Structure 1
């Protein structure tokens, strides 16, 4: 076999697909650790190499792919708008860097979404988060109990013996809490699908729950409540008779709307109960300043730059007004609004909203519990986006693209066109 044919065969193999998925997920969830242990250049190089390999895998597997179902239209529109923002941005180099970063993580997510099915993705994510959360716990034990010294190289303050807050290898307590909740959802799905044995399942769930608790992140409480409500609602729908399922969906939707209204009315009481008054006050001040700048460019925004680390206008002025050093808008929706205007926000909401509806409808009729992973993860991302901008970069963006791609593959108008061309009759019955 010639070297060229060997490389093509390797890229198209199932073993390489699994290895690539683990490497990709490990890199995107370990971005903070990689950057702290090496440098931002090393992290960028890893992302570029993974994106290049992913593109090569997609080209190698092009005959297995359908152009119509390659990626959601809203995703393509969002990325295109981020690139077009080069025309009005105040820093073209910053926008190009931010866009290339966004594109790199998108290619990784799209590649994983096409070479792995839902269960395989869940298992790969479960393996990745198990290792990373275990490493986080080990380093926190070393720092907070054995040495009683902060491990500044990893960003660990060593507060484990004090009951938290802890950061693990994810940089902040909020990021650790978010990853732990994602891990809990994934571990439970793994356990329920018998992808892992009982002992490993119990360890994984206990690990995720323990780290979520010790992160002492106010958003974890809200995330846990939202996921709990979504899980209960989805369980009710899945067990409802087929002829009553639509009515049950509407009733549950109405109840959720009422609950959101009540939560908004009692928001001050809820904030006090969560002991998050200072956090919310900080966010409210930041959002008010952001809205002042949005009013000046509400249609287009200031150009895509993703993370605020580059200091692109108007970030320095926002931080100067607040006498702070924010690295994001602490809200994905405000961040998109600031960078890409109302059109960008509409595309972002469309990307997540359509994916949530599609995946929810699929999960409500399919027997296998693995289909619940996508809508529950999307609910987690939507709620977390109200408190942090994780969904726009790194692991959060990869999860969003993965879920949107998965939802589009299982229930989409493009699937109907594709099936009509191939003579396949689409079905959405109670198959496993």
Structure 2
């Protein structure tokens, strides 16, 4: 009897990994882990988070092996992702904290692998639905924690960073650690909920509930950084809507006009930055960020090309982060600017690789969203708008959920706009010589 059950059990294992339900569950758990990392680190610490991440990587490997014959690999993985992660890994050879760099690169590569696995095993609409389901659940949990802390018990939950300020109108942070992170999640959630509704993936009632949930999270977060991103997102949404409605023969001219308008707007905003900050009443936050960035700029010239070495999250006990913390007398885990953070850690070469990664991902996603009629293609483009705009005041694009979203959007855009795929298509059209 045992001899018969053994081979059958062996056959059932790959069949389970091949199941669409396994891929769906893997996607949900991965996005849930990425967005909930602040709460997970607060409750079970880094060992628990790393253990969960390792389990997901092993499951991802099993899913890819089981589905290897059905997966289209050609032209999927953007080379820009490999170059950026590879350069971060190479920084271990010249940094003073090799063990930090090695562990941080592995942490970064693990999330990148999970993102690639999701893109390989799930369609774009399925990815959107997974993100929507996860963010609905996490936002409900966040408001539940805030209600329990601020209204029912009237006690702050220090281990989660929850101050219980909901009764005062905020700011709140839910289970996401900071109000800026809650605002970032709320914006991603609102974009996702709208796409779900437009594709009829959810009912009208569920969409209304989701929209109210995301809007309330955005409002109560009280994040001035997020409101700046909202402005950029609204502009991008209107521009994308106009491009999708335009005729194909005028769309290219509109793209160039939009690019010129964006450059002019960015330059004007830079020169009027003091007035913009005063209008948005974000002076105190900007002053702190400005002081931090000045300290970073002073340390960048020490290693301008190669950087100090990749660390991801800052370790306050090692240079250069210890010097910055000492100068500001305040602890923090990132540089509050993804581009400066990369510049400090992996130098000019790493910054160029990161800009190329983000630039290629955005251009490809934007072109797909402009030219494809299916509304689902607008999700990666708008998500990248939020990620890139937020990266000017936070380092979300380098870590956890922000990094996972960047990889997912980059890989998805590569599927539709990869130059390697086009080369392969041309090769397929070339007549093959007859066999002798």
**TM tier relative to shorter chain:** over 0.9
**In the TM superposition, what is the alpha-carbon distance from 1:230 to its structure 2 partner?**
0.3
Q: Distance in 2 between matches of 1:391 and 1:417?
A: 31
Match of 1:409 in 2: 415
User: Does the residue aligned with 2:171 lie in a helix, a strand or coil?
Assistant: coil
User: Does the residue aligned with 1:295 lie in a helix, a strand or coil?
Assistant: helix
Match of 2:363 in 1: 357
Q: Distance in 2 between matches of 1:60 and 1:312?
A: 43
Match of 1:200 in 2: 206
Does structure 1 retain, via aligned residues, the 8 Å contact 2:225–2:390? yes
User: Does the residue aligned with 1:39 lie in a helix, a strand or coil?
Assistant: helix
Does structure 2 retain, via aligned residues, the 8 Å contact 1:82–1:304? yes
Q: Distance in 1 between matches of 2:100 and 2:197?
A: 43
Match of 2:55 in 1: 49
Does structure 2 retain, via aligned residues, the 8 Å contact 1:126–1:187? yes
Q: Distance in 1 between matches of 2:297 and 2:203?
A: 50
Q: 1:384 aligns with which of 380, 384, 390?
A: 390
For structure 2, the 5+ residue unaligned runs are 1-6, 431-436
1:344 aligns with 2:350: yes
Does structure 2 retain, via aligned residues, the 8 Å contact 1:319–1:326? yes
User: Does the residue aligned with 2:172 lie in a helix, a strand or coil?
Assistant: coil
User: Which deviates further from its counterpart, 62-71 or 367-376?
Assistant: 62-71
1:304 aligns with 2:313: no
Does structure 1 retain, via aligned residues, the 8 Å contact 2:236–2:382? yes
Alpha-carbon distance change, 245 to 389 in structure 1, aligned in 2, over 3 angstroms: same
**In the TM superposition, what is the alpha-carbon distance from 1:289 to its structure 2 partner?**
1.1
1:24 aligns with 2:30: yes
Match of 2:433 in 1: none
Does structure 2 retain, via aligned residues, the 8 Å contact 1:129–1:183? yes
Query: Can you list the C-alpha shifts for 1:221-244, whole angstroms capped at 9, x where unaligned?
Result: 111111100000000000011111
The within-5 A match list for 1:35-114 is 35-114=41-120
Match of 1:398 in 2: 404
Q: Distance in 2 between matches of 1:386 and 1:346?
A: 16
Does structure 2 retain, via aligned residues, the 8 Å contact 1:94–1:312? no
User: Does the residue aligned with 2:235 lie in a helix, a strand or coil?
Assistant: helix
**In the TM superposition, what is the alpha-carbon distance from 1:311 to its structure 2 partner?**
3.8
User: Does the residue aligned with 2:244 lie in a helix, a strand or coil?
Assistant: helix
1:237 aligns with 2:243: yes
User: Does the residue aligned with 1:2 lie in a helix, a strand or coil?
Assistant: helix
1:156 aligns with 2:131: no
Q: Distance in 1 between matches of 2:208 and 2:306?
A: 49
**In the TM superposition, what is the alpha-carbon distance from 1:417 to its structure 2 partner?**
2.6
**In the TM superposition, what is the alpha-carbon distance from 1:368 to its structure 2 partner?**
1.5
Q: 1:173 aligns with which of 174, 179, 198?
A: 179
TM-score in terms of structure 2 length: 0.95
Q: Distance in 1 between matches of 2:62 and 2:90?
A: 26
User: Which deviates further from its counterpart, 2-11 or 376-385?
Assistant: 2-11
1:134 aligns with 2:114: no
Q: Distance in 1 between matches of 2:297 and 2:63?
A: 42
Does structure 1 retain, via aligned residues, the 8 Å contact 2:315–2:322? no
User: Does the residue aligned with 1:38 lie in a helix, a strand or coil?
Assistant: helix
**In the TM superposition, what is the alpha-carbon distance from 1:61 to its structure 2 partner?**
2.0
TM-score in terms of structure 1 length: 0.95
Does structure 1 retain, via aligned residues, the 8 Å contact 2:316–2:322? no
Match of 2:3 in 1: none
Which structure has the greater CA radius of gyration? 2
Query: Can you list the C-alpha shifts for 1:120-159, whole angstroms capped at 9, x where unaligned?
Result: 0000000000000011011111111122211223221100
Q: Distance in 2 between matches of 1:4 and 1:311?
A: 49
Q: Distance in 2 between matches of 1:310 and 1:395?
A: 22
Match of 2:434 in 1: none
